[in-house]
Amino acid sequence: MTKIGVLGLQGAVREHVRSIEESGAEAVVVKWPKQLDELDGLILPGGESTTMRRLMDRYGFTEPLRAFGKSGRPMFGTCAGLILLAGEVVGYDEPHLGLMDIKVERNSFGRQKDSFEANLSIKDVADDYNAVFIRAPHIVSAGEGTEVLAECDGRIVAARNGQYLGCSFHPELTDDHRITAYFVKMAKQAKALLAHS
């Protein structure tokens, strides 16, 4: 069975676990770097990106996570997780993991009072997707190898760059598991590919 980890340092971990299981894969809560070895894919959940980064640094997660991505195994970042994956973060000199060829801006829709739900069309996933945005970031620009999957109000809110998938919103907060299922499929395909090489 495809095994998907959820980085379990802080945030909406339980919801992602449920969504992974609903999508027919096995879910693992990852609290320590050594757990990464057994995984076929990893979700970086929503939460507070600054908190997750502090904890990642303290427990030596940063390099193992970069190595995980570079090994070709898929990673999916939602909201705070998208910020962790990005190659560039507006207003910061250094990115966090710097894996995905996108530039993101934090809290770009405003404060909590501006948080919202919206109906989206997500390429290859769904054309009627109810997305929940909470103090959400957005993708300011995407590199050449990055495919834009969804936009909201003229801003990029979901994209894929090879094995990296990212979105501004929180698929884990609804019962719609289609985007998680899409990621599980990415992990399954990568697993088959890596087994052959």
Per CB under 8 A, does 121 bind another protein? no
Decide if 170 is catalytic. Answer: yes
Q: Of 111, 127, 195, 197, which lies in the binding site for another protein, with binding defined by CB under 8 A?
A: 111
Decide if 152 is catalytic. Answer: no
Cβ closest to another protein, residue 103 vs residue 185: 103
Residues in the interface with another protein (CB under 8 A) total 38
Decide if 196 is catalytic. Answer: no
Cβ closest to another protein, residue 12 vs residue 184: 12
| Strand pairing class (155-161; 147-152) | antiparallel
Q: Which of 96, 152, 172, 177 is catalytic?
A: 172
End-to-end CA distance of the chain: 19
From the CB of 134, what's the least distance to another protein, in Å?
5
Contact 16, 176 (CB under 8 A): no
Contact 161, 138 (CB under 8 A): no
Site for another protein in 54-93 (CB under 8 A): 54-55, 58, 79-80
Q: Of 10, 35, 108, 189, which lies in the binding site for another protein, with binding defined by CB under 8 A?
A: 10
Per CB under 8 A, does 8 bind another protein? yes
Counting Cβ atoms within 10 Å, is residue 70 exposed (0-12), middle (13-18) or buried (19+)? exposed
Per CB under 8 A, does 14 bind another protein? yes
Residues lying near another protein in the complex (CB under 8 A) are found at 8-15, 31, 46-48, 50-51, 54-55, 58, 79-80, 106-107, 111-118, 132-135, 152-153, 170, 173-174
